[in-house]
Structure 1
């Protein structure tokens, strides 16, 4: 009996725990709050965990249109330049933003290490949607970048409830059997206005799958794909143009009641 108990204890110790790196999240949160110059830091709760979100009001509207902004792998809700520019520029064009701290792993973790975090990511998106609805939002879009785009597709493929549109920036199609990361299947399930943006010199998992993504979205009449010429995965040549493409598409595709 004692041997069995010891074996069980060792098994529990050796079993990997797939959860966000809370210490790393807290370090990000501390640094962001010390230098935040636009928007408001708020704390949301999903399951038993709280996580940071940055809310920025729209300048000329009643915040009835809101975009949830999801960063790439290993980043944070004010990552520069792209996430920061999205969350601070969309409000100038009538879209309030709520940039979320998504679950992250330790520095140097691989893409495969993130797939077990997707249910936690979905719960955070759910919590943010609920928060925006309670705050009066009527049209909610999700703008995801890289791993954030894949997390968004995972949530919307499962239940698109209360979300109006999806913008994916550099959505990867990983070579994996992990169920949460089957991008092409997820694209087929997302029957919402869907903008699929990628760079001419993007990562192989994004660039090489562009045609496959178009084919996966062919039955969605409001799926559109755009290639940003001259850009790589960081979009640093002209990230303002990318942000303009995003808010222009949202403005023409998602209209007020």
Structure 2
């Protein structure tokens, strides 16, 4: 008698494992041999935009300024001077891979210069490559509605389903768009960086400062120099370079473009690194050949084991340059209070 019930019991145990076509469709499953259509996902955000979003969450709202660089929104960090009559405004440009609150140079200067009477505005520049962000990998489209079960006879009359047709379609033979040339990539990158500096200058001018100083750290020093050389804004008479670098693949080198500016220029470099020291020497020799009227180099000692003291040294040197060598918009050189 017990043997008679065993086939029935086995069938009951297997029943939950045999899903109906309607249930498979309901759960978005794909029948064997079928290929789900691929859906292109939204591209990934640039690293610089993700980091800007992080700064928006971390820093108080009063420190944030949303600027418009062409069609791109740009986060800038604004810190007004902690005095009744500010001496001027310093625009800070970080280098490749850095943010508007980078712990080397940019962050310490933007927070500490206001105590010395200077307002600060720090930017984050676009990702170094200038390439568009990579697309996300495609994913199978999820079914949103359950399809009713169809009997085998009716399915035979109607022919293959839409899903089967899509899965059996031949891949596209359209050629992929040609990759951008290096010149085109660099041109796009330059336009994006210049648009951000222009947006920062527009905000700075609204504050009506006595002087505007452009300060670049790392590759930000290259962008500051190129912007001033090509755009020639008449209200920016001062340029500060900190540990200047040339972005990979870009030209001209700083020793060719920097001496021709004829602006009050402070070139701060770390003498411990032979490559940095040699590059600074080339800039110094070029400035002498061009008879630059106001180019001053300041050598500093790197302190990798004591970054706090290293940043304090930089802040003191920058404050000293601003006190002694600043060229005001009217041409006078203000002295320290």
TM-score by length of 2: 0.61
Q: How does 1:118-137 map to 2 (within 5 A)?
A: 118-137=190-209
Distance 1:211 1:23, change over 3 A: closer
Count of residues in Structure 1 that have an aligned counterpart in Structure 2: 228
Match of 1:224 among 296, 308, 318: 296
Q: Deviations over 1:193-215 (max 9, x none)?
A: 100111022372x3321211002
Gaps of 5+ in 1: 1-20, 107-111
- Give the drift of 1:150: 0.6
Per-residue CA shift, 1:122-148, capped at 9, x if unaligned?
221112111111121231001110110
Deviation at 1:174, TM superposition (A): 6.6
Aligned counterparts of 1:56 and 1:212: Cα–Cα separation in 2: 35
**1:61-140 superposed matches below 5 A:** 61-63=84-86, 65-105=88-128, 115-116=186-187, 117-140=189-212
- Aligned counterparts of 1:46 and 1:174: Cα–Cα separation in 2: 21
Asked if residue 194 in structure 1 is aligned to residue 217 in structure 2, the reply is: no
Corresponding residue of 1:211: 281
Q: Which has the larger radius of gyration?
A: 2
Shift in CA distance, 214/235, structure 1 to aligned 2, threshold 3 Å = farther
Partner residue, 1:164:
237
The equivalent residue for 2:256 is: 185
Q: Is the 8 A contact 2:219 2:246 kept in 1?
A: no
Runs of 4+ in 1 over 6 A off after TM superposition: none
Query: How far apart in 2 are the matches of 1:243 and 1:132?
Result: 21
Deviation at 1:163, TM superposition (A): 0.7
Find the counterpart in structure 2 of residue 15 from structure 1.
none
The structure showing larger relative contact order (alpha-carbon pairs under 8 Å, at least 6 residues apart) is 2
Alpha-carbon distance in structure 1 between the residues aligned to 2:232 and 2:215 = 14
Q: Decide whether the 8 Å contact of 1:93 with 1:247 is kept in 2.
A: yes
TM, length-normalised to structure 1:
0.79
Alignment partners' CA distance in 2, 1:61 and 1:50? 31
| d(CA) in 2 for partners of 1:235, 1:157 | 33
Q: Which consecutive residues of structure 2, in runs of 5 or more, have no partner in the other structure?
A: 1-43, 130-181, 327-332
RMSD: 2.7
